[in-house]
Structure 1
Amino acid sequence: MLTALSIQNIVLIDRLALEFRPGLSVLTGETGAGKSILLDSLGLVSGARADSGLVRTGSSGGTVTAEFDIPSTHPVYAVLAEQGLDAGGGPILLRRQLTPDGRSRAFVNDQPVGVALLSRVGGLLVEIHGQQGQLGLLNPANHRALLDSFGGLTPQVSGMQAAYKIYRDLSAEAEAARARLAKARTDEDYLRHAAEELAALNPRPGEEEELADTRTAMMHGEQIAGELDDAMKSISGDKGAEPSLRVGMRRLERVADKASGRLDPIIEGLNRAFTEIEEASRALEAVARDLEFDPRVLEHTEERLFALRAAARKHNCTVEDLPAMREAMMAQIQALDTGEQGLVDLERRLREAEAEFATLAEGLSAARGEAAARLDAAVMAELPPLKLERAVFHTAVNRLPRDKWSAAGADDVQFEVATNPGSAMGPLSRIASGGELSRFALALKVVLAESDHPVTLIFDEIDQGVGGAVAAAVGARLARLSDRAQVLVVTHSPQVAARGGQHLRVGKIVEEGVTLTRVEILPPDERREEIARMLAGAQVTDEARAAATRLLEGVEA
């Protein structure tokens, strides 16, 4: 509910702070006193279009702030949490600042937001029903949800939406599978040929580096072999180090016993050197054998290396990636071979999901038809006391073409009305007008109140053009409605004003040559006087006061 409203520098209001109570609050006052300013201010703070004409002349800007206290289960909290504005279940503060050039800034819980979000939040908290237009339940986009809520169909709607999601997801999966299979079939000949080529080539990880190293070594084989041959001749050839060392050792050994042991260490060192030279000679011979140049081996190595690199260029990858490329192609071929059966299974599941969704959607359609009949009867029962006895209300539940079915089901729902016998049915917002529209909104709200989320309902001159028993019926229904939601009504009817739990009087004063609007919350005595004024006009008589007393006592009784 709306607990507080603060207005600064809006039209004729310089500064105003009001607190509201639950139930029914009535706003009265002379025509032109400024009651519409309050409604414009509430519209502005709940996201209506900003108008620079609302800023009070001579001020630097206007501000409207509204505070709401609502149950923690209200859907507005989900919207706030979605936007990172979680109020933690506490009060919700809406603020709108307006500059003289028409620019505005919006805030929710003192955090700046876009006007679109303010309007979304405000629409969940306030509904304004007035002469210039309607919000909330008169919007055809909301009628289906309102009917579902009235009929207690929310569990059926949830079940159907879950079935629709399964159907939609399987439909997307099947479409993607068909596209993949079609593409695979288009590329099948190339894919199989390329896979066969790679299978014949049989690339191995690390093979390119291995072949390149071998090729490089073999290309330099002749030069290396010549150098190795010269080295071996220098070591073990006829005039090499090994024969010379051997001759030198024999000569030393012949005279060693005559040298008193002084040659022994030298002979041992030469023996070690001779052993090392022999080992080096054998190693050189082994390397020479390994590097023996064979043109046929080089040719085979180059053919293999060049074939691998050509395949890599063909598939736009590295040689090292060829084994993985081959595995991927084999997997694609396998998927192609098994894809047909997979698609058959997927399409079977899709048909089953579609049938399940269709069954639930058709069941919901039937339930909507029954709920619509109950809603029509309930609304029609509310119309005669509101001087709408000649009108006909109808909830049209129209079956959509199959390709238009959605998570909302198979139906389009719209509230229709004919205001006169014989008139064609049409949308409520186009057929009804002025006070009729507000009274239709009241009838609908009374019927839907138990199934709707609590909001602050504002009715602007809902009693226009009616009086007596009809005005009393309007007041009685507003009072009934205020048992379930906070209701604010701008009224010229004493019968409606007498129903208010809180009575606010709007009037004008002149201070220092400036006209200002003031709002007073009336105590019981002044409230009786205001209702008497509404009954009598400019001159309040004792008879009017007595009639006002009877009205108030009749309501209290």
Structure 2
Amino acid sequence: MLRELRIRNFAVIESVTVAFGPGLNVLTGETGAGKSMLIDAILLVRGARAQTDVIRTDAETATVEAIFDVETRGPVANVLDEAGLTLEDGQLVVRRELARGGRHRAFVNDSAVTVALLERLGDYLVEVHGQHEHQRLLDPARQLELLDRFADAEDLRERVASLVGKYRAARDAVERTRAAARDRAQREDLLRFQLSELDGARLRPGEEDELRQERRRAQHAERLLAGLVEAAALLVDDEASAAARVHRAARLLTDLGRLDPAFTGPVEALDAAAVQVDEALARVRALRDAVSLDPGRLEAIDERLDVLTRLRRKYGDTEAVMLAFRDEVAAELDRVARHEEILAAQERLLAELQAELAEAAGALSDRRRAAGERLGPQAERELRALGMERAVFRIALECCVLEEVSPRGLDRAEFRLSTNPGEELRPLARVASGGELSSHRSSRRSRRAVRCSV
């Protein structure tokens, strides 16, 4: 029960505290007095979206606080327990704080919470009805939802909805696998050709770059070879070579060092230079040996580059990409080859989900039928208390086949009403006037209050 509502700087309201008593409370006032603002404030603590334009013009923040009396055991307490909150002395304080900067906050018993939690609590704390709200009773989907709430079957309904999603996904997978079987042979031929072509190419990452570098060398082989031979000669091959001159200078300074030790200082540097000359010579000779004057090698390089270019156009820009594509082809070929095995596994999963869904949906239907048998007489008693002495109310359930199951289950609910003796039961939408719908809604809310203990 809503016991007190405190509002500050909300729309046209500067500050107000409204206390509610047991039973019916009526708020009256002229148009524009702010009655609808109270409803908007209640919706806000119920989890409605916060807008900064509801903050009073001369204020930076707005606050709405609602105090409820609730039972320490029941759906509200269960929601709080799931959120790690406690309910003491049956008092629940819900507060929304709005700021012009957009940093809105929500609290339950002074603990910061999410708006999603307020929405969950709001389903049990407050119902807000517009003047045409009773027309929702005419919707069969809404009627089934109300029956499930009366039957306390929301958890079972959620399980059925989850299983329906899994069942449909498994069924679609089986259908796709079966459809793929029709062109499986053609696809398998293509995959085998691609795998054979890629494996036959013996791809190696970086090979194309190496070949293009070797091709440039082969194109200028004579010039490169002549230059490398000359470089080697300058380094070592005659008395005027760099190596010979370094060695002669080192020997000369060593001899002079016998006369004056100061002359041996550069010898160490010359020895290091000799080592570097030897290393450079080794590299020059390696490059010289790598240069080929064989015209056949250039032709072989061009042929290999043509193969790589053709494969690159079909399978990827680099050897690494082509090798990755090759692995994908091999994996798909394995799946195609194991088509029957995969299909059998998918069909087993589908059968298991179908059996599980049939059991859960059947249990939901049984609970609905049992609840419908209880709800009819209870509704009639409530309608009699509202002056409809001869009213007869029943709930008809139509069950579909499992292949047509929806997230709501196998059933379609229809509320049927007879308001006068001798009249047959007809769907609520065909026989109920606006007043009768309002009366029926009042009786339904009364039953819900008893069931939810709120």
Q: For residues 236 and 26 of structure 2, what CA distance do their matches in structure 1 show?
A: 129
Rate the CA distance shift 1:311–1:119 in 2: closer, same or farther, 3 A.
closer
In structure 2, the CA distance between the partners of 1:299 and 1:417, relative to structure 1 (3 Å rule), is same
Aligned equivalents of 1:33, 1:232: Cα separation in 2 = 109
For residues 307 and 421 of structure 1, what CA distance do their matches in structure 2 show?
92
Contact 2:66–2:93 (CA under 8 A) maintained in structure 1:
no
Distance in 1 (alpha carbons) for counterparts of 2:314 and 2:418: 75
Question: Does structure 2 retain, via aligned residues, the 8 Å contact 1:391–1:420?
Answer: yes
Paired with 2:236 and 2:300, the residues of 1 have a C-alpha distance of: 35
Q: Contact between 1:205 and 1:320, CA under 8 Å: does it hold in 2?
A: yes
1:77 is displaced (CA, Å) by 9.6
**In 2 relative to 1, CA 95–147 (structure 1 residues): closer, same or farther, beyond 3 Å?**
farther
Counterpart Cα distance in 2 of 1:385 and 1:285? 112
Which residue number corresponds to residue 331 of structure 2?
Answer: 331
CA shift for structure 1 position 2: 0.7
**Deviation of the 1:294 alpha carbon:** 1.1
Q: Which residue does 1:411 correspond to in 2?
A: 411
Q: Deviations over 1:120-159 (max 9, x none)?
A: 9766533467986538878754433432343454564455
> Would you say the 8 A contact 2:6–2:16 is kept in 1?
yes
Task: Compute the displacement of 1:318 (Å).
Answer: 1.4
Is the CA contact (8 Å cut-off) linking 2:140 and 2:414 kept in structure 1?
Answer: yes
Label 1:3 to 1:141 Cα distance change in 2 as closer, same or farther (>3 A).
farther
Distance 1:431 1:33, change over 3 A: farther
The residue aligned with 1:357 is 357
Shift of the 45–216 alpha-carbon distance from structure 1 to 2, 3 Å rule, reads: same
2:4–2:67 contact (8 Å) kept in structure 1: yes
- Residue by residue, what CA displacement relative to the aligned partner does 1:42-90 show, whole Å, maximum 9, x if unpaired? 6554559xxxxxxxxxxx9xx99754454686469969x99xxx99864
- Is 1:376 paired with 2:376? yes
Could you tell me which amino acid in structure 2 is paired with residue 359 of structure 1? E
Deviation at 1:200, TM superposition (A): 1.4
More helix by share: 2
Counterpart for residue 394 of structure 2:
394
Contact kept? 2:361, 2:410, Cα under 8 Å: yes
2:94 equivalent in structure 1: 92
Contact 1:395 1:415 (8 Å CA) reproduced: yes
Structure 1 residues 385, 307: CA separation in 2 closer, same or farther (over 3 Å shift)?
closer
Distance 1:137 1:40, change over 3 A: farther
Q: 2:204, 2:319 within 8 Å by CA — same for their partners in 1?
A: no
Distance 1:326 1:120, change over 3 A: closer
For the 8 Å contact 1:46–1:94, the answer to whether it is kept is: no
Distance, in Å, in 2 between the alignment partners of 1:282 and 1:447 is 99
Partner of 2:444: 444
Q: Which residue of 1 aligns with 2:223?
A: 223
Q: What CA distance in whole angstroms lies between the structure 2 residues aligned with 1:284 and 1:139?
A: 91
Q: 1:316 matched to which residue of 2?
A: 316
Label 1:285 to 1:169 Cα distance change in 2 as closer, same or farther (>3 A).
Answer: closer
Greater relative contact order (Cα < 8 A, sep 6+)? 1
What amino acid maps onto 2:417 in structure 1? V
1:25, distance to aligned residue in structure 2 (A): 2.2
Find the aligned partners of 1:95 and 1:286 in 2 and give their Cα distance.
80
Alignment of 1:280-319 (within 5 A): 290-319=290-319
Quote the residue 1:345 is aligned against.
345
Question: Matched residues in 2 for 1:14 and 1:284: separation?
Answer: 92
Match of 1:534 in 2: none
Q: Give the deviation of 1:6 after TM superposition.
A: 6.1
Identify if the C-alpha distance between structure 1 residues 179 and 226 changes in structure 2 by more than 3 Å, giving closer, same or farther.
Answer: same
Q: Does residue 27 of structure 2 align to residue 25 of structure 1?
A: no
Which whole-Å CA distance do the structure 2 matches of 1:305 and 1:287 have between them?
22
**Cα distance, 1:38–1:380 mapped onto 2, change above 3 Å:** farther
In the alignment, which residue of structure 2 is the partner of 1:532? none
Contact 1:418 1:431 in 2 (8 A): yes
Task: Give the corresponding residue for 1:190.
Answer: 190
The count of corresponding residues between Structure 1 and Structure 2 is 392
Contact 1:369 1:397 in 2 (8 A): yes
Change (3 A) 1:211 1:15: closer
Q: TM-score, normalised by structure 2?
A: 0.64
Distance 1:47 1:207 in 2: 69
After superposition, the C-alpha distances for 1:395-447 in whole angstroms (9 at most, x for unaligned) are: 12122465542232111223221212344544547644465444433433444
Alignment of 1:150-229 (within 5 A): 150-153=150-153, 156-157=156-157, 159-174=159-174, 187-227=187-227
Q: Secondary structure at the match of 2:23?
A: strand
Partner AA of 1:126 in structure 2: V
1:358 shift after superposition: 2.0
Considering fraction of residues, name the structure with more strand: 1
For the Cα contact (< 8 Å) 2:316–2:322, is it kept in 1? no
Percentage identity across aligned positions?
30
**What is the rounded CA distance, in whole Å, between the counterparts of 1:316 and 1:235 in structure 2?**
46
TM-score by length of 1: 0.54
Write the distance in 1 (CA, Å) between the matches of 2:189 and 2:341.
20
